[in-house]
Amino acid sequence: MATGRRDTASLVMLTGWDATALKSFQLEDGTNYAAVVAMLNAGLAGLNAEFAGDWMTNFYSLTDQPDLEYRVGVSNGMGLHTEYSLPDAQRAETEGHMLPKRRLDRMLGWTWLYMQEARMEQIEADVADALKDVRDTRRQRLLRRLLKRGDDSGASLKLGTGGYSPGFATTAGSTSVDFVPPANAGTEFDNTHEHYVGIAGGVFTNAVFTDAYDELREHGHEPPFDFLIGPSDRAAVEALTNFTAAADNLVLYGSTQDRARVPSDYIGTISHFMVREVRGVPQYYGFGYKSYGRLSQRNPLRIRLHKGESAFRAMAMPHPNAGSGIIPLQNLMMYCEFGVGVADRTNGTTRYVNNETWADGTAT
């Protein structure tokens, strides 16, 4: 039985592969299998480099540990000092939850006859489509956790029979892991504190953003903040009176025109939020948070990796259940292993502006 982790270097030559023998196999257009491996290597290297530095790394961190423990609210405080008596000792209270993890694969499905007759353009299309699926899986699972109020649970998520992976702060009736946020600057909270807010009206308003701003600040997070919206809500947000559009580098503006000084991947600012349009966020949903920098442990989400891993990555390998195949690469699959949970239950507030009753959103 083969054990241990592969890295992308294993794609170049597996133990039982020989470079000379690979060159003897040709695709229909004359391309040899070694060239296919080199092309696949380059695609995976580019994808993993993208995962290490794209904008999404600004709202999650990484760990290989399955559990989190954090401080919750408790009524402690200072007392008057006296000369002879000892004050009562006081301590913090903590709560904790687990982080999920799943194994995910994507078979390329190259049969023996296909590999004999395929052209390189067809192989390139298959590889590009598989890389797209890996990219979409990461994006969808990150966005899903932002838009889901309920807990994740179950042995299939590596949470055991009694473990839970909850969302952000929510009333005790919506989670199995009750959460009382720590008091901050004189404001105390209880286990009914809610960060998943349903609002009637079917449209974003200025008040949506000011309320989200207040909710983050009351927990000690300070602006500037980020706010994610979907493409369907962009026009409505840009039309708000408090919205300031980002500057377009192709436009020369007059001296009286205000433009937001934000990076080019934001559409503008409103109520101390830098607003980003994100494909996959459904209509009527928005998410506000404080980014503490790329892969900061204080960011809202945390990705759980395989034990011993320190970076999110996809890899390719022959499927372990398919046997060796008649030719190299016949049973190749894309593989990744990760799960997404909430790290800081105060650092995230989700808005659903189409109904006063909350409903989870579905990332696409």
Can you say how many angstroms the Cα of residue 302 is from the centroid of all Cα atoms in its chain?
8
Would 300 be classed as within a structural domain?
yes
pLDDT for 81: 87
pLDDT for 359: 96
Q: Are strands 102-107 and 93-98 parallel, antiparallel or unpaired?
A: unpaired
Q: Which domain holds residue 216?
A: 14-70+94-352
Would 362 be classed as within a structural domain?
no
Would 6 be classed as within a structural domain?
no
pLDDT for 326: 61
Helices (H) and strands (E) in the chain — how many of each?
A: 6, 16
pLDDT for 283: 97
pLDDT for 215: 97
> How far apart (Å, rounded) are the C-alpha atoms in residues 100 and 153?
8
Query: How buried is 173 (Cβ within 10 angstroms: 0-12 exposed, 13-18 middle, 19+ buried)?
Result: exposed
pLDDT for 240: 97
Would 359 be classed as within a structural domain?
no
Would 142 be classed as within a structural domain?
yes
Question: Which residues of the chain have a pLDDT value below 50?
Answer: 1-12
Q: pTM for the whole thing? A: 0.86
Would 363 be classed as within a structural domain?
no
pLDDT for 88: 82
Q: pLDDT tens digits, residue range 269-287? A: 999 999 999 999 999 999 9
Would 86 be classed as within a structural domain?
no
Number of domains in the chain: 1
**For the chain, how many residues are written?**
364
pLDDT for 342: 96
pLDDT for 18: 67
Contact 273/213 with Cβ under 8 angstroms? Answer: yes
Any residues with CB less than 8 A from the CB of 255 and at least 6 apart, and which? none
Whichever domain contains 121, its CATH number is: 3.90.1690
Question: Is the backbone peptide bond immediately before 181 cis, with ω within 30 degrees of 0?
Answer: no
Would 163 be classed as within a structural domain?
yes
